[in-house]
Structure 1
Amino acid sequence: MAFKVLLVDDEPGALEGMQMWIDWRKLGFEICGTGSNGREGLRLIEELEPDLVVTDVNMPVMNGLEMIEAWQRHPARRAVSFALISGYSEFEYAQRAMRFGITHYLLKPVEAEEAAAELEQIRGELLREAERSRISRVAAYEETTALIRSLLASDPQETKNIRPCPLLDRVSASRAAWNCCLVQADADRFPEAREWASSLLEEKEALYLIDLDYGQFVLVYGEGAEKAPGKTKSLKSGDVVTELIRGASGRPVCLALGESRKSLYEIGHSYTTAARAMSHRFYEEGDLPQIFTYEATRSLGFSQHYDQMPLMDRIIESIQLMKPDDFEKSVTSTARSFREKRTAPEIVEKAVIHLLYKTSEYIREMLGDPAEEVLALYHVPGMSAPTTLTGMMGYLKSFGEACIEALTREQARKSKGIVEEINQYIREHYREALTIKKLAQVFYLHPVYLGQLLMKKNGVSFHDMVHDLRIEEALALLNEGRMKNCDIAEQVGYANYGQFLKQFERRHGMSPNEYKNRI
């Protein structure tokens, strides 16, 4: 971090010498300008905003002490450190400077080593002051943000009842007007949008970022003239908005601007109107639109009439009947009806959430615990992610298709009965010391009944099925030719080679070695 230095001296040679013989960059400084007397120095302090002013004491027009005194009384005064240059005969000036809090001196002629030592001390003080200022700014920003958040949550009609706050009074008075820019991004692009907005805070004053739920945040910004004691920095109308739109260009965000208010205490109204403007994104197609404004959308409206219940019932019925084609047609028809009648987004959202709840209850009743595997993939309690009709109905479609698929799987499982589950278990565990007794314990069935059931459904006994699976795998391993016969027997589940040999010969009429010789 390099601090800016202004040099003020009426002797050109002294100015040139300080610039040449002191390694300012190495010491952490950069020279931003030079002046030849106190009056010029006073103008340059206001114009260049240096961190440090190194000034001669005895100068024409206005000497160094008079310049320091004038700056400390200046209405636009900001924190500036001063270092005096004086000769031995001018030491009484240095004593007078103590009244202004000046503690750093350089004696003429300025020696590079002595100047470096003094400047290192000054840099340390500036660093500590910069850190204190940073901490103070962060604390003030966080406190202001918390207060603004409470204003956003308050009823815009109750502004007169809000208790005044000195900090909000100062912030509010610093700008002619205040407004909200509501920012919305798709869930997977939200971090990128949030990072962009955060970078704006480092560049702009009177700009506050408040995080909201559901992939949104709001930028509260001041506009109009910046009012400071003795100084008015004119800002063109719309500068902040223009900057926001320019920054949002090419980014995955949608902006909505509210109606500005003169007082920060009325920011709740700006936020409410920004949210109304954002609601008109609901029926937009394709990529995120760039910006909506309350001014442009205030005359547009939504239908509060809801008559799509028969269509919604048809969606539920198609899920219950597990008819994916009918389900897709019903979702498409419902979406078309919402769009044609421009139904209010909040009504659409409530209708879809109701349908999600009703469908969730149904599949829980039909599937039991397996239903949770489907529901875990969807945020059923609310539509936090989709913010357009297309997104919302796409979310519903995906959810319904997952439910139909789960219900279809369950129906297929039940139609095949428990035998398929048992067969699957045997296929997964045949390499183990699996017995009919152990299998019966797993499925809570009597061993004799289980054996009869498998024989009836599979056409082979439990033991034959196990041996068939083992010998089938053994054949594959023999074909690969990488393992010994005894190792293959052990891998497929036989405790001894003799048993493996017996079962292999029974099924193929030859020994494993004879089989390998034929390959």
Structure 2
Amino acid sequence: MTYKVLLIDDEPAALEGMQLWIDWNKLGFEICGTCSNGLEGLQQIKEQLPDLVVTDVHMPIMDGLDMIAAWRQQHLKKVSFVIVSGYSDFKYAQRAMRYGINHYLLKPIISEEAELEIEGIHRELVQEAEKQSFDQLATYEETVALIKKWLTEQSVSNDSVQAAPLISLSGAREKWNFYLVQADAFMFAELRETVLSLLALEPFMFVIDLEENSFGIVYGYTLEAVDEDRACLVINELMRRYAGRRLFVAAGMEESSLLDIGKCLRTAKQAIAYLFYKTDYNEVVYYSDIRDKPFHCHYDIHLMDGMLGAIEMLHKSSFREAVHSAASSFREKLIAPDIVKKIVIHLLYRIIEYVRETVDTPAEALLEKYSISEISSSVLHINDLLNRLLVCGEESIELLLQEQTQKSQGIVQKINDYIQEHFRENLTIKQLGEVFYLNPVYLGQLLMKKNGLGFNESLHDLRIAEAVSLLEQNKLKNCDIAERVGYSNYSHFLKEFEKRWGTSPSKYKNNKL
């Protein structure tokens, strides 16, 4: 289905950019008009009745927020709005949320980001259209609305007049229950449409929209369970069609009255959380199977320290081991999924921040790459969640290693120059590490990798090379030469000299004279 979009911006270049850089037709929209200020935009909305308006915040005559406020006050056709603003206007743009607007784009507009936002709006419009298409089924819609009110508004349960239709419907079946369905946003609209089509001829089954990316199926059945079997068939068909895709389904505990459907929803919510610890997305959890298996909140904080420590040590295998240990611990202790998600989100932010401080990589790109903002509401098994953490950690370690290698290429030359200048002194690798703020072990490995020689070998090579030069000049005693090139112990000098020249300093000097 194609929807109409109106574009409003006082900057001609920005207006032209929105038309050219965004493939509106591919996203399911057609541009019905453009204008340059809020007053003109308000008139265009009245005339064109667009489904979506993309508007700048600051504009002459009437700005974007005043235009939206004016439209809302007139209680006219429902229109979706997208606010466009720069970073400096972001706090100001947040006022738009008061008008029910939760979409915004930052200037300069990036086509990929804009298209993702527009795709989400298109899904919302499709879902809205689906709801409206059932207006013809007045009785069905009224029942659905009343059930939803009963589920979400405590005051309704005390209103006998509003409860009367539910009481009448409830008596038609002996048992009632609730299937809770959760899916990722990109497949939600299609999934809901599929369920509606499967339930089209079922008189005692109702689709109830809940919070974001979830809905419920309320169903009644007799003690013979014929109707319950039909509900199971619908769920089984749903799982078959979406095999392998991220979909969570759980059933609550049945109740004898439709007036107690809220209890069914609560128990279904408790049950669906257990899918986090499953390995197959095509599995349905029933509250009766998990009612005696409570989640726990206390976890081993040292697991987090182990993962962060492995990142700092640039040790991939240690990081993998720490992640696997965490997974085992979470499963064994049955830690609440919300807590596990918060732990992973915290770790991802810590890892990305550590990388950002070390490597010239924009944090925003990393945050988007690992979809951190979506984790809380995503349909994920623990394996998929921790795999995202594992990939982030391993890729971060690789980035840090690359950065370290690049920096080490420059610092090795500085270290070699320092050794060349100070080899005559009582120089140790520990002192060298203090000068260059490097761990002595790592410093030794770095020199070996870059020079092919360890620190001590390089130091003695320089000392003996200078000693040879002094011996050939025949102006100093051998013991004075040893002291001048850095040896306080003559026997040590003798040993290192013979090791390199196969003869003593005295014989070397005699052969040269």
TM interval, shorter chain, is 0.3 to 0.5
Q: TM-score, normalised by structure 1?
A: 0.45
* TM-score for both structures, normalised by structure 2: 0.46
